Structure 1
């Protein structure tokens, strides 16, 4: 298991994913950062800043929790799915998010 430390709207988030999927999530977040400024709507979704990736994590603060990767990607998909973008081809970003989401859902079913 790998852990990603994200800073999202001044909140730290820890996301846990199997090692083989972590690269995909980091690449997806980089792509979203690159493309979000191309959206023409005023209310763009907030994107996290990737602070660190690690193989071991022990959270000692009761205010922090570790999110499952599928939970995080589902939240990300919902934020982008509700956008009312008319000019930018938002479907390509949603396709990438949903592809990772489907892989994580399949992984959960296999476990």
Structure 2
């Protein structure tokens, strides 16, 4: 069994491929779905565009040159930065940030444990 799954996200015409530890791929998909459900409730001037989670798969073979594959931790770190920078006054943004940061902490721990195992 592979230790990774791939979450495929779509933003406009662009596809993003995120390599997630298999045990956490569903959490990223669920988080993206929840963020998309809540993003319209934000009242800040600059609300980021979010990709839609379109698929998850166990194996991925990228055929187009220049297509990038993000690690789950890199993706969630970027997502946390984007949401932390939103100047929201009405919506309880902290609840969304808490969910993002919870997955971020789990991924950091997973990558640390993987690094320890490989030494």
TM-score by length of structure 2 reads 0.89
8 Å CA contact retained: 1:5, 1:13? yes
Report the Cα offset of residue 23 of structure 1: 1.1
| Rounded Cα–Cα distance in structure 2 between residues aligned with 1:5 and 1:24 | 13
Question: Any gaps of 5 or more consecutive residues in structure 2?
Answer: 115-119
Report the Cα offset of residue 44 of structure 1: 1.1
Q: In structure 2, which of residues 86, 91, 96 is the aligned counterpart of residue 88 of structure 1? A: 91
1:1-111 aligned within 5 A: 1-111=4-114
8 Å CA contact retained: 1:9, 1:46? no
Deviations along 1:12-36, one digit per CA (max 9) or x if unpaired, are 1100111110111111111101111
What number of residue pairs does the alignment pair up?
111
Moved over 6 A (4+): none
Report the Cα offset of residue 96 of structure 1: 0.3
8 Å CA contact retained: 2:5, 2:57? yes
Q: CA RMSD in A?
A: 1.0
TM-score by length of structure 1 reads 0.95
What secondary structure, in the 3-state scheme, does the structure 2 residue paired with 1:52 have?
A: strand
8 Å CA contact retained: 2:33, 2:52? no
What secondary structure, in the 3-state scheme, does the structure 1 residue paired with 2:7 have?
A: strand
Q: Which has the larger radius of gyration?
A: 2
